[in-house]
Structures are given as structure tokens and as C-alpha cells.
Amino acid sequence: MAQPHGTGTPQRSVRDATLDVLRDHDLTTLFTNPGSTEVGFLAGLPEDLRLVLALHEGSVVGTATGWAIARDRPALVLLHTTAGLGNAVGALATARVNRAPLVVVVGQQDRRHLTLEPFLAGRLRDLAGDYPVRVEEPPTAQDVPGAVARCHHAAAHARGPAVVIVPMDDWAAPAEDSAVMAASRHVARADGVDGAAVDDLAALLTQADTPALVTGAGTDSEEGWAALTALAERLGAPVFQESFGARAGFPQDHPLFAGFLPADRPGLRATLAGHDTVLAVGAPVFRQYPYTEGALVEPGTRIGLLTDDPAEAYRSPVETAVLAPIPAALGALTSRVAPRQWSARYREAPEPLDRPAPGQPMWPAHVLEALAERAPADTIFVEETPSSRPEMHQRVPARRPLGFLSAAMGGLGFALPAAAGIRMARRDRPVIAVVGDGSSLYQVQALWSAARYGAGALFVVLSNGRYAVMDRLAEKHGAAPAWPDFPEVSVSGLSREMGCPARRVDTLDDLITVLDATVPTLRDRGEPLVLDVAVAVETEFQP
């Protein structure tokens, strides 16, 4: 390495300066599947940086997403030029819609011959489309540390992946201290709210005869749950969860919890018809699938929105949108509305299931009921079973913040790596992933990382040997599926080949036995376990 003239002290490199930035911003766990363009950064990685290897970039980003959500702070990702970033785009889209803060460093070919488009050079700036909240392509090597710091701030405050593209020769270039200061060392955002900002929403609720609340990921925190519960109880208003919600924004065992909004407009109108005012808090207005004609709500129903997401505020078809820190704004709003009497319970517990007849397979509902009966209240459930998701919502309520997590984007391949990342970050809480066998195959490589890094989650795979949700959708179109089943695929066998312990479970009695032995160990467990549970095909599906 070059030395300053007249001294025997090695000159600080861009890599050295960037490592200091990473330490300053608590980015010392690195999720990666590296390639040659990243070796200059990774060779001789200091001991205070921890490297977590995943076997596919979707698993890299998925694991980092779980880690970031569980810790509520940015996670660090390192990807390999075009192939790595390209493989990760779907997972980055999920991270953006899940509002997971990621700092994503992408390796690039040597800066000195990029104009010749050498082997492994990538056209990287726009490869992930609009999903990054920021993309930095530093004009000089010395700008790299500041770019990393700026991307940390963008990821933390815009709640999504921020990308830095770094040519491989930049790491060895000499650093300039002034370049490191091209970004703030610390960015603070005020948590207070001007009371006047919520006056319009307070008036909206005060004038309402039958208000209702809708919530989602934006209130999924200790502060968010407490603040929204206080407002709901003051109003006596039912609280609905957004459709396709990726996180639970309200305690789903609370008497004011009214269930999940339908994802079609006729169902949405019918569900909200008895309410003259609807306030969405930390949730879109309103997520739908598929498209159906008509208005979102009945004529005369007034809609307001409280959010901390500017894009959500700008696009929502509402009378009034307030952009503010949600817990503080909810506190100000609650103090401005008069208390009302209430005694209703809006949602009853589901009926217990009959046991399968001798020789008959389990339904997914049997598995979910068994999990709900045994899982502690603070269990983090990660879901990716599209055909069984309505049943899971019915039988496995989220009882603590971060109690439910799913992929807001809808793409498959999220649950296995996310559950591993969550468990690595939150050793104090049990983690259970409930995944369809088709979904599990999208990122089955994540089980290797879970085993390698002691992510002691329980992975419950509902195995029916097909893409059941696609079969049901085909039936709705009056057609037979054009795709084959895959009953010969053994998820438990694949798991064991990945070094992850697994068991095949074929009967309810066997399931209960293994759950009774395993669930009590989940809080302290260091070894993951896959349960490959044979289930019957669902006969009904509601999107």
C-alpha cells in the first residue's frame, strides 16, 4: 500500500475509511454471497465485522430484511455486480414494500477500464428499477465512504434499500478525510407533532357517528400498538387489519379487533358499510386484488389517513392525509377526541376443529390450530402459505408487536430467509415460519444459512405437493391447471442435504408430539428444525 512521503505509516485506504463508517453506523453484520469484484473489500475482514453467508442473493437480501425489521435499523448487504444485484431484485422489491432499511453495496468492475465494458462490468444504476430509496454511484473512489453514510441515512429514514455501487479498485485507493465528511455523521428526526397537524383528523372523528379504524405495518411497534389501542378504546371503534398486510398493526386478540379487510371492492364496501368515517393509520387506502369495478367505500363515507410514508400520503384517495410520526400523532389525536362508551366484541374465536378420521390427512387448519395452542404470546410468526393464509389469520392471532410478518410485495421466497434473519437478530423471542412447500422451494438455500449460523427457528412446511393457490385460481377461471404437481419433491430431504435438521410428519398425533417437544425450546434454541407436514389440498381459496 502506498505511504505518505517521508513517513513509514501506511496511508489510509478507502476501505479503511469505509470500515470506520460502517462501525459508526452499527453496520457490522454483513450479509453476502460474494464474487470476485468484492474480494478487495472482504479479504482480511476485521474481526469486529461478522460475515453471514447465504447461498443465493434472494436469501442474502431476505435474511438481511428479517434482521433489519427485527432490529428496526439498517442491515448491510454486499452483492456481486450484475448477477448478484439481478438475482436480488425481487427480494429488494419486497424489502422496499416491507419498509425494511438496507444498505446495499454492489461490486463493480475496475474503474480504470469500465469504458471498455470488461468481463463482469455491470450496468447497475437502474438494474433494480425504482425499488431502491437511493442509488449512489460515487464519481471518485474517495467519495465511497460518504456515499455509504448517505445511503445509511436514506435507508433509515426512507425505510427501504439504498444502493452504493463500488468499483473493485476503489477499496485500495487512498482515502481523503474530507470525503468521509461528505455525509452527516448523525441525522436526527424529530418525534414531536404540531398539534394543529391532526386537528382535521380530530374533527373528522368527532363528527363521525360510527367511526372505524384500519391499520397495518405502520403501527407495528410497541409505541404504535399502545397509541392505536388508546385511540380505539377512546372511540370504541373497531379496528380492521389491511388486506394483504405484511405486519400486524394492532393486537388481534383485543375485543375491538374486527378482522381483515377483503381485497375486492364489493367486499370492502360491504365490510365498511356500517361506518360513516374510516381512518387508516399506517396502512394504504386500500390495498386490493384483483381489480373489481366500483368505489372503495359507499357514497358518503369519509376517509382520512395518518401515515409516515410520503408516497402513501400523496397517492391515497382520502379527504385528509396527515404525514407525521405515527405514535406521537396518535397521542395528539387521542387527546382531541371525546371518549365514547363501548362494550362490543367484534370478532369471535374460530370453532375448534374435529380431528381427522383414521387414515385421513390433516388440513392446514389442524396444523395452525396446534401451533396457536402451543406458541407463546410473543412468538414471531413468518407466513408464506398463500392458500392457507386466511385460515392462519383466523387461527393464529398476533398478540405482540412483530408477531406477524409476511412479504408485502407478494412474491415468494421470503419466509425462510426472513425467519432466519429475525431469529439471528432476536434471540429473545421464539420464531416460527409457516410456509407452503411450493413457497419453500424458492429460497430453500436459506436453510443452510439458518443451520450454519444457529438461527434456531421452527420452519413448518405445509406440504401438499403442488402450488395449491394456483390450482384454486385456475378453477376460478373455469380451467384445469396447466402446470404439474410435484409430490416427489421432499422438502425434508432437501433440508437435511442443506445441513438443517428435518422431520417428516404425516399424522396429527405425530405433529402434536413433535410440537410439544419442540415449541418449549424455541426461546433458547440454537438449531433450526424443519417440519415437513403432509396436508390435504385446500378446497376453498379467498384472495
> Above 90 in pLDDT, residue 33?
yes
Average pLDDT, the chain: 91
> Above 90 in pLDDT, residue 351?
no
Directed axis angle between helix 57-71 and helix 81-97, to 10°? Answer: 40
Cβ-based neighbours of 133, under 8 Å, separated by 6 or more: 96, 154, 155, 158, 159, 160, 161, 162
pLDDT of residue 178: 55
How many CB atoms lie under 10 A from the CB of residue 46?
A: 10
pLDDT of residue 466: 65
Tens of pLDDT along 419-435? 999 999 999 999 999 99
Please state the φ and ψ torsions of residue 167, each to the nearest 5 degrees: -60, 145
Tens of pLDDT along 257-268? 999 999 899 999
- Across 80-109, average pLDDT: 97
Cβ-based neighbours of 126, under 8 Å, separated by 6 or more: none
Higher pLDDT, 312 or 194: 312
Tens of pLDDT along 133-142? 999 999 999 9
User: Please, what are the domains in the chain?
Assistant: 14-180 (3.40.50.970), 195-334 (3.40.50.1220), 364-534 (3.40.50.970)
pLDDT of residue 1: 43
Tens of pLDDT along 480-532? 877 777 777 899 999 999 999 999 999 999 999 999 999 999 999 999 999 99
Asked whether the beta carbons of 390 and 39 are under 8 A apart, the reply is: no
> Above 60 in pLDDT, residue 44?
yes
Q: Which of 277, 122, 155 is nearest to 206 (CA)?
A: 277
Tens of pLDDT along 466-489? 677 777 777 777 878 777 777 778
pLDDT of residue 495: 95
pLDDT of residue 8: 58
pLDDT of residue 6: 47
- Across 152-168, average pLDDT: 96
Asked whether the beta carbons of 327 and 227 are under 8 A apart, the reply is: yes
> Above 80 in pLDDT, residue 64?
yes
- Across 278-306, average pLDDT: 91
Higher pLDDT, 540 or 131: 131
Q: Please tell me the least confidently modeled range out of 43-47, 340-344, 444-448, 456-460.
A: 340-344
Beta bridge partners of 214: 240, 280
